[in-house]
Amino acid sequence: MQEQAGVDRNENFHRSEEPAIDIQAWRNRIRTETSSNYQYQMGLALLRCGDAANALAAFNRAISIQPDLVPAHLDRIVALHRLNQDMGATLEAISENTDLVACAAAVAVLGLFDGRYGKEDRVIIFPILAPLLPEAADSFDHIISESSDLNLWKYAIDILKIVENRGEAVKIRLSDLYMDFIRTVDDEVDLSKVSELAIRAAQFRPLFADEAVKEIFRRRQRLRIGTRTAVGGNGDVVASGVDAVLCKAAKLPLHDPETLYQLGLTMLLQGLWSDAQVSFRHCLDLAGDHVGALSYLALVEFVMGNLDSSLGVFDRLSSIGPTTSSPWVPAWARSFGGLVLQASGKLEDAVERYRSALDSGAEYAWAYSNLGLGLLAAGQLDEAEAVQRKALKLEENYWQFSNLALVLEAQGRHQDALDLHRRSLEFDPEWARFRCLVRPWAAQTLFQAYQELDGDETTTASSIF
């Protein structure tokens, strides 16, 4: 049943949501937009030079070629105001078309952030638009009076939400505006709101899906790195605020393997196993043997309880062979395949698999650490500790710290174990907690340790894992 659901989801990924293109209509539209934009850009240049009269003439020509060219209507208002001419006809032209009203509001609001409209121009434009969008009038008033970019952003979002409800035609136009805005807005603006706009743009215009999600990931990474540097390690907290928004991208028709892989990781850390599974599988459909997608698909299948499927993916991964960029792949896959066998109750086979990962002569910390888990389960605590310490000497990371802590806990060295658990969480809290689920026989011990570290006995397993 779950397998079929995944197949159905993959079919949806491949299904185009865009209507078939009428080539002649497309060519005509390009000609029209090119001609009207030429006149519009000429008007802007003239307006900047102080020639409002000729700018007005250029805007009029642009509108005659393309009557729904929203920016031309707005800048025509500015030109008329500078010439002290009546703006009634322009107001009437805009108000006759509901879509035009909505798009004018969106263009004006987003124009604040790309620097197209300064405070002087917005004082002219927004009072004219306010009567046409009564439900947004208060927000327009705030936009006129506020100078803080953060406050402007808040009011802009209010207006954009109102505009979105104006119809499908508006949504299609908004998708272009949103993507233009997302590319130019400063990183300091709330990342979750930028991400929400990117997802909406892709929902309105599916062809934007890959670009929108990539832009979110780029911003997420820049903000994470910048915040780590600025505030001493809080970048993960800031960046994770957007992950719930990103999970909506699972329903978009994505076609870029790397985007699907990153999206799968995001949903994995949110505990959305089925969605992560679908993203990794779709990545593999498009990219073949993508090492990262295979690795995490195997782990997701494992934590979902699909042990045979998980072992099959690990076997596929181990058969790829070492590459220049990923020499660790065969040993890593064999080693983690041992975890699946151990979870299946086949401890001897698991230990044999762990040792085979080291037979290649590779000194991989993960392989030693996993062997230590098998020895721990077999009750060979001294040997398990020696192997775990060798792993930790080769590489310090959350997996090695946490696994050695399990051995020390079994030896009754509770405080030493807690110290290692703390280091594991500090190293990478997101992944340390996910990896708890990859050790089902130790999950309760891990949970109790992290509960104690949190200092809150009411903490639930779901809040930690």
CA distances from 269 to 22, 247, 310 (A): 43, 11, 18
**pLDDT tens across 225-281, in order?**
443 333 334 444 445 567 777 878 888 889 999 999 999 988 888 888 899 999 999
| Least confident window among 76-85, 143-152, 348-357, 379-388 | 143-152
Pairwise CA distance, residues 82 & 71, whole Å: 17
The pTM of this model reads 0.73
What value does the mean pLDDT of the chain take?
A: 83
Nearest in space to 397 (alpha carbons), one of 423, 430, 436 = 423
Nearest in space to 249 (alpha carbons), one of 262, 236, 240, 235 = 262
Structure tokens at 385: 């500790």
Q: How many CB atoms lie within 10 A of CB 158?
A: 17
Residue 339: pLDDT over 90? yes
Pairwise CA distance, residues 142 & 258, whole Å: 41
Q: What is the DSSP string of 235-283?
A: HHHHHHTTHHHHGGGGGS----HHHHHHHHHHHHHTT-HHHHHHHHHHH
pLDDT given for residue 373 in this prediction: 94
Structure tokens at 425: 């969480």
Nearest in space to 245 (alpha carbons), one of 228, 263, 257 = 263
**pLDDT tens across 372-384, in order?**
999 999 999 999 9
Nearest in space to 342 (alpha carbons), one of 310, 390, 320 = 310
**pLDDT tens across 420-464, in order?**
998 888 887 777 668 888 898 888 888 888 888 876 554 444 444
| Least confident window among 188-202, 260-274, 276-290, 346-360 | 188-202
Query: Counting every residue, how long is the chain?
Result: 465
In the chain, the N- to C-terminal Cα span, in Å, equals 26
pLDDT given for residue 269 in this prediction: 82
Query: Residue 379 belongs to what H/E stretch?
Result: none
Calculate mean pLDDT across residues 369-396: 95
pLDDT given for residue 377 in this prediction: 94
pLDDT given for residue 187 in this prediction: 62
Counts of helices then strands in the chain (DSSP H, E): 27, 0
What does the DSSP 8-state code read for residue 97?
Answer: -
Structure tokens at 83: 């010439």
